[in-house]
């Protein structure tokens, strides 16, 4: 499945979520590109629009995600790895992985100063609609679940225009409800599924988040 833009994809996701209009909901995006999807959802449902900063760490030389760092500095291992696999990779690549954790955490701390980002108090007692503009593997969802674990929310709803089969499996395990417009077993990269891949600079994305309520319709 292909989309003209991320905004169009968000608009096409709205009908599946319309029951949550005027409910206690937060639209939580996972990247700058996801904000363009989530903007349409938040405007149609009249929800808060916010973003959780996450960054993934790869296993060197392999097409595998070792884990994810979220904006609180917490590292979450790839949920598909066994304890033995984690220990093996960590033993072999300890120096590299620790350097990556520090680098990613430093970058997220810098971005946190922009405002418009999620806090625990914003989510407590709400339905949380997690929005991605595409999910290749679902490791970012592990980071979200880890962040939400100590917070009492009503329901976790995960939505994406396009996702891999592996990512949908993670969605089923972690979410209470999921909505995906297209599923593929040969995920080609998020940009592949959009004709228009123009994403504003991060500062502009922050303005979209901070002004979201003004765009309700």
Half-sphere exposure of 99 (CA within 13 A, CB side): 6
Q: Is 49 left (phi over 0), alpha (psi -120 to 50) or beta?
A: beta
Please identify which residue in the block is written with the tokens 């969605």.
171
Nearest CA-CA partner of 68 in 60, 78, 59 = 78
pLDDT per residue as tens digits for the range 25-37: 999 998 899 999 9
Which pair of structure tokens corresponds to residue 140? Answer: 């970012």
Nearest CA-CA partner of 5 in 213, 164, 211, 199 = 199
Q: Which domains does the chain have, with CATH numbers?
A: 6-54+114-215 (3.40.50.2020), 57-112 (no CATH)
Query: Which of 51-60, 83-92, 100-109, 160-169 has the weakest average pLDDT?
Result: 100-109
**Residue pair 77/84 in contact by the 8 Å Cβ criterion:** no
**What is the pLDDT, as a whole number, of residue 109?**
65
pLDDT per residue as tens digits for the range 140-184: 888 888 888 889 999 999 999 999 999 999 999 999 999 999 999
Rounded CA-CA distance 162/73 in Å is: 28
**Residue pair 34/133 in contact by the 8 Å Cβ criterion:** yes
Rounded CA-CA distance 205/207 in Å is: 5
Predicted TM-score of the model (pTM): 0.80
Average pLDDT, integer, range 123-133: 95
**Residue pair 153/46 in contact by the 8 Å Cβ criterion:** no
């Amino acid at each position: 499945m292909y989309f003209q833009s991320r905004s169009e994809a968000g608009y096409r996701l709205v009908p599946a979520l319309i029951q949550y209009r005027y409910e206690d909901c937060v639209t939580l995006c996972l990247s700058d590109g996801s904000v363009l999807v989530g903007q349409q959802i938040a405007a149609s449902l009249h929800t808060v629009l916010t973003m959780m900063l996450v960054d993934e760490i790869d296993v060197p030389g392999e097409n595998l995600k070792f884990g994810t760092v979220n904006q609180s500095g917490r590292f979450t291992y790839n949920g598909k790895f066994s304890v033995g696999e984690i220990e093996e990779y960590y033993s072999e690549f300890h120096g590299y992985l620790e350097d990556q954790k520090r680098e990613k955490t430093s970058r997220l701390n810098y971005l946190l100063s922009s405002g418009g980002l999620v806090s625990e108090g914003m989510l407590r007692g709400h339905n949380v609609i997690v929005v991605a503009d595409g999910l290749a593997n679902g490791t970012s969802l592990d980071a979200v679940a880890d962040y939400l674990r100590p917070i009492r929310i009503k329901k976790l709803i995960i939505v994406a225009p396009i996702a891999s089969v592996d990512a949908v499996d993670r969605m089923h395990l972690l979410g209470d409800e999921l909505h995906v417009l297209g599923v593929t077993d040969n995920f080609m990269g998020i940009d592949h599924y959009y004709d228009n891949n123009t994403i504003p600079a991060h500062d502009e994305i922050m303005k979209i988040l901070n002004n979201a309520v003004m765009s309700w319709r």
